[in-house]
Structure 1
């Protein structure tokens, strides 16, 4: 169903500029099965590894193959176009936020929840918590 998924994309800082400037995110081929579940209109938040969360985006395409080298460290041939949905804001994860997120199972070593992953499917509730947190002043 269009616009029904809520996601967090885990990205490297070195590829962040490409993602923002080209409104495009890329993945390795092993993520194809997962990426096929996503539709145009789904919402995503970016998590910059070891740093912060950044902005709310809408998926502006379904997954497609493109081997044109645009990313800094790899081809990442599976791609999805993104559209900025809300003004970009950077915020760090706080203990208060981590305690409230159900997808973070190990609250003490919370970064481990992101290791080896490029995308996490969130509940609507967790997505809303992150979105509200990004909008706080």
Structure 2
């Protein structure tokens, strides 16, 4: 079983949570093809300014993968402005394991996360749609939800 961190924004997080599906852009096809049923996906959302409040980067939930990757071209997700008409066609079906309410703030955990090797330029470690994280990091993020 592989542990994945899926990188998103709050809009697409809500879509994934409601529809129990995760999608990646065309350029991430090879990554999602490595995902298998039984794997676990933690969803990370980047920081976002809403009105005059800054919502921190956070992990919002954990899901079990319950399908093989598949291609679906129905527009479900909202593409960030810089991605143009991207529809995130490569998808997996999910089953909720835990919804973090409140979300687990990410930045305070950076010093203890193994997959982030550059602690000062840490955003470089989350610039793709999905990445494998070590079991130790998965457990640390899950236990931070309590």
For Structure 1 versus Structure 2, the TM-score category normalised by the shorter chain is 0.7 to 0.9
1:83 alignment counterpart? 95
Q: Unaligned stretches of 5+ in structure 1?
A: none
Deviation at 1:69, TM superposition (A): 0.8
Cα deviation code 1:80-117 (max 9, x no counterpart): 1111012433121243x2111111111123223212x1
- Per the normalisation by structure 2, the TM-score is 0.82
Q: Unaligned stretches of 5+ in structure 2?
A: 48-56, 80-85
**Are 1:128 and 2:139 counterparts?**
yes
When the two chains are superposed, the root-mean-square deviation of aligned CA atoms in Å is 1.4
1:108 alignment counterpart? 120
- 1:1-137 aligned at under 5 Å gives the runs 4-50=1-47, 51-73=57-79, 74-89=86-101, 90-95=103-108, 97-115=109-127, 117-134=128-145, 136=146
Deviation at 1:33, TM superposition (A): 1.7
Greater strand fraction, Structure 1 or Structure 2: 2
- Per the normalisation by structure 1, the TM-score is 0.87
Q: How many pairs are equivalent?
A: 130
Q: Return closer, same or farther for 1:65/1:111 CA change in 2, 3 Å cut-off.
A: same
